[in-house]
A and B are shown apart, each in its own frame.
Chain A
Amino acid sequence: MKKILFIILSLALFTACERKIDEFAATANGLDFSNFVSVGNSMVAGYADGAIYMSGQENSIPNIMAEQFQYVGGGAFRQPMIGTEDGVGFQAIPGGIYCFTKMGLKIVPDKDCEGKLVGTASLKPGFVSNPDQATLLQQLFAPPTVTGPYNNMGVPGLQLQAAFFPGYAFYNPFFARMATAAASSSVIGDAMAQKPTFFMMWLGDNDALSSALAGTDLLLTPADTFAKYYPMATGALLASGKSPKGVVATIPDVTTIPFFTTISKALPWNGVTLTAEQAAGLNTLYTMYQHPEIVWKAGQNPFVYVKNDGSWAQMQAGDLFLLTLPTDSVKCKGMGIADQSITPIPRPYPIPGKFVLDGAEQAKIKVAIDQYNVIIKGTATAQNLAVADMNTYLKSFATGMVFDGIKVSTTFVTGGLFSTDGVHLNPRGCSIAANYMIQAINSKYGSNIPQANVTSYLGLVFP
């Protein structure tokens, strides 16, 4: 019996080793990843949930790419790490900036229009903490916890032409954190100075999206400006000294971004239901306020909003509410119809234009994005760069895609691709985008760079 046990034990030891498997031959095929530099806006910086924060930066698209480049000779990838996990974001206000932390999903009790709890709760994004402005400003302007130069030259808010401005740090605190010389540095200049051996550039989104995010088509960068500066930006990196190769990415259409699509799925553009009596009352009211062009009728009516030129109009099918729309005001205060809180006679209450992207605005923005993308692809071809067509790729997520058993789509919150700000990707989304960039590189240059394991990146974290 002892003998048999001995045999069994030695067999067990013999078989304790793992099966060897070596199916993936990682190869750079001549590409040099020893000094990888990324250039772009918030999408590149690792900005998410409305702020820049540590784990967002750690899961930035270029940082995930750099981790995979480690298998094919990649070097260190330095990022201007902010020393806070709650993060800092800001918006411009008259005379300065107003700061806040990142957002996270929260369970918020539902209330009726009188402010009474109704016993149900909803999942909504909210700031994760409320430090005072001084603390947030100090965090924003504190030197990064990692010293430069920074391989990740992603600067939230950056537009194409602004990447060439010397002294851009004065206009953008995010660049002030990382500029080599505040008074004279430009984003492209600081990127060139690093003499990249390989670069990723995803730039130009804000030339269209910052206009769209403001609910207007007035802030679009003209296509001829884009056509002038885009090849200059890539050309500058190509001429920086080490004859780098690189990958660029196209600009996603607004229809792929939850910020523009979410509210309209729940709130119809013609969501005002009136009796004949109510319609007559509103017509009287609107005429009184010099807006007889707005005509109300019994039945379904469109909401009223303010157009770019200041005129009022009724919404039309296809017009989009933005994620920032104060839905409580629509529900309880008559926004889009008439302000009932003003007595004895209510006042017409059109939805401010910054909350609506109407069909005409969408069309102009789409034309601009299409033009930019033609320029991006043309530049890539002319300069022998890989191009990741993020616009087409993100569109394929509308109905959902599956990665290792995870279903993701461009739907807000439940889709699991975007962060709580509805514009920027969450870490899992960033890993999917990074893998798409790697696919583009492999396909263009014949390399075989392994892709990141999507399952090891967090999606949205639920309370």
Chain B
Amino acid sequence: MRRFTTLLLFISLAATTAFGGGYQVSLHSMRNIGMGLIGTSLSYDASSLFYNPGGAAFVNEKWSFSGGVSFLMARTTFQPTNGMEQGHLEHKLNTPLYFYAAFKPTANLSIGIAVNTPYGNGLSWGENWQGRYLIQDLSFRAFTFQPTVSYKFKDIVGIGVGLVYAYGSVDMNKAIPLQGAFGDGTLNINGSTGKFGFNAGIMVHPVKGLSLGLDYRSKIEMSVKGANADFTVPLSLSAMFPDNKVDVMLPLPGNLDFGASYEFGKNKQWMVGMNLCYVFWNTYDSLVFNFETKTSAVGRTATPALYESKLITRVGAQYKMSELLTIRLGGYYDPTPVKDDYLNPQTPSMNQIGMTCGISLYPTKGLSIDAAFLYIMGMKRTGTFAPDNFAGTYSTAVYSPGIGLTYNF
């Protein structure tokens, strides 16, 4: 148990950030990142445990390990619609991690575990910016641990299912517009929880070279019971804002992914593929805080989010230049699930065009050093968070180099 706690401490150092359409993070394998984040129809290594459990049984080697880390740098600037004072996201290096291990006891059966960070949001606007009554800083992380079985029938159909245990933690600060001698009141909320979901997929190889995949990752209702809620307010108002426990409810949306890929050329030198990822964002209706000790000022609040489900389109290709080197290229379009009237600086989401490239170096047989670079083009979006009458334009760019190792033997 102690070792497990230590593990949690270690991985919780690695924050992730919201740069996807919402607060979903898609950096789960350097090889896949290099190809525009596709993966539902691929079965090159243990990362299939996550991308499509139906594909894990198609990995040829008895053992497969893959792990890596991305170095994510997001830059966002905000300008209010009617004013000149700009706000900037503080520069943070976020490091989403992944680790996969798969073992094949028989030729058709694979078992394994996937550990990664499919959801998260970490940003800090600073204590004194114009939107501080909405958010000062937020760190929301969800790590998933997914034990998985995968079985293939002949070399045509593979199915797989994984039980997903998601460990989520949240730590947020916002200012309260009630001022004392030392400035604004503040609210800190922090807590963590663990919840279950599942990941199931099927992969089909109908003709030589062609692979089709379908994967469903379930929604996980991330409700944190009894998180700490610490108010700092002027003395005369402290009875209205008692230090408190709070239940926080945030859904991690389900995903339905379809992928197709085709290998061709001499020794299957070439591979081209695409993914269509439908994200059930509509489950994120509102962010609910329900305080245990209720007063005239503190109760149950539901901050509307009203996300819309969206389809992400991804394409990618790889080319094996030699036994020693593979190069990859890809891109994707990730439309925002956030409506113009509900654009919240907690998650300054916008339509995104991402471009990726990557390489793998094979120093010895079975071992590869994988590197990838993701660039999300600079974009601007103007919107209002209507419930708080907070209007402005956000401009964002994201850079994310990353490195990993894969060992199949």
B134 touches A21 (CB 8 A): no
Nearest-neighbour CB distance to chain B for A289, whole angstroms, equals: 43
Question: With an 8 A cutoff between CB atoms, is B307 at the interface?
Answer: no
Question: With an 8 A cutoff between CB atoms, is A357 at the interface?
Answer: no
Question: With an 8 A cutoff between CB atoms, is B188 at the interface?
Answer: no
A21 touches B75 (CB 8 A): no
A15 touches B75 (CB 8 A): yes
B132 and chain A: residue at smallest CB distance: A455
CA–CA, A17 and B235, complex, Å: 41
Contact with B along A422-463 (1 / 0, CB 8 A): 000000000000010000000000000011110110111111
Question: With an 8 A cutoff between CB atoms, is A116 at the interface?
Answer: no
Instruction: Among B76, B91, B233, B388, point to the contact of A405 (Cβ < 8 A).
Output: B388
B390 touches A462 (CB 8 A): no
Question: With an 8 A cutoff between CB atoms, is A117 at the interface?
Answer: no
CA–CA, A20 and B380, complex, Å: 10
CA–CA, A11 and B81, complex, Å: 32
Nearest-neighbour CB distance to chain A for B76, whole angstroms, equals: 6
Question: With an 8 A cutoff between CB atoms, is A26 at the interface?
Answer: yes
Nearest-neighbour CB distance to chain B for A405, whole angstroms, equals: 3
Nearest-neighbour CB distance to chain A for B135, whole angstroms, equals: 9
B297 and chain A: residue at smallest CB distance: A414
Question: With an 8 A cutoff between CB atoms, is A23 at the interface?
Answer: yes
Q: Which residues of B contact A463 (CB under 8 A)?
A: 180-181, 234-236
B179 touches A458 (CB 8 A): yes
Question: With an 8 A cutoff between CB atoms, is B291 at the interface?
Answer: no
A405 touches B235 (CB 8 A): no
B235 touches A21 (CB 8 A): no
Instruction: Among B75, B93, B130, B132, point to the contact of A19 (Cβ < 8 A).
Output: B75
A462 and chain B: residue at smallest CB distance: B234
Q: Which residues of B contact A16 (CB under 8 A)?
A: 91
CA–CA, A19 and B76, complex, Å: 6
Nearest-neighbour CB distance to chain A for B397, whole angstroms, equals: 6
Q: Which residues of A contact B131 (CB under 8 A)?
A: 404-405
Interface SS of chain B: helix, strand, loop or mixed?
Answer: strand
CA–CA, A463 and B234, complex, Å: 6
B130 touches A404 (CB 8 A): yes
Segment of B49-57, B82-90, B193-201, B268-276 engaged in the interface with chain A = B82-90
CA–CA, A12 and B179, complex, Å: 38
Q: Which residues of B contact A397 (CB under 8 A)?
A: none
Question: With an 8 A cutoff between CB atoms, is A189 at the interface?
Answer: no
Nearest-neighbour CB distance to chain A for B42, whole angstroms, equals: 25
Within 8 A of A (CB), among B97-146: 130-134
CA–CA, A332 and B237, complex, Å: 28
Contact with A along B223-237 (1 / 0, CB 8 A): 000000000011111
- Identify which of A19, A24, A406, A416 gathers the most chain B CB atoms within 10 Å of its CB: A19
Question: With an 8 A cutoff between CB atoms, is B395 at the interface?
Answer: yes
Question: With an 8 A cutoff between CB atoms, is B242 at the interface?
Answer: no
Nearest-neighbour CB distance to chain A for B373, whole angstroms, equals: 8
B91 touches A453 (CB 8 A): no
Contact with A along B302-317 (1 / 0, CB 8 A): 0000000000000000
Q: Which residues of B contact A105 (CB under 8 A)?
A: 236
CA–CA, A452 and B130, complex, Å: 11
B73 touches A15 (CB 8 A): yes
B403 touches A4 (CB 8 A): yes
Q: Which residues of B contact A460 (CB under 8 A)?
A: 179
Contact with B along A1-45 (1 / 0, CB 8 A): 000100110011011111111111010000000000000000000
CA–CA, A7 and B401, complex, Å: 9
Q: Which residues of B contact A12 (CB under 8 A)?
A: 71, 73, 93
Question: With an 8 A cutoff between CB atoms, is A171 at the interface?
Answer: no
B78 and chain A: residue at smallest CB distance: A21
B133 touches A21 (CB 8 A): no
A24 touches B83 (CB 8 A): yes
The interface of chain B, by Cβ under 8 A from chain A, is 71, 73, 75-86, 88, 91, 93, 130-134, 177-181, 233-237, 371, 378, 380, 382, 387-390, 392-393, 395-397, 399, 401, 403
15 more A-B residue pairs beyond the given contacts A12-B93, A20-B395, with a C-beta to C-beta distance below 8 A: A21-B77, A23-B79, A23-B81, A23-B380, A23-B392, A24-B81, A24-B84, A107-B235, A121-B236, A404-B80, A404-B389, A404-B390, A461-B179, A462-B234, A463-B236
The interface of chain A, by Cβ under 8 A from chain B, is 4, 7-8, 11-12, 14-24, 26, 71, 105, 107, 121, 123, 401-407, 416, 435, 450-453, 455-456, 458-463
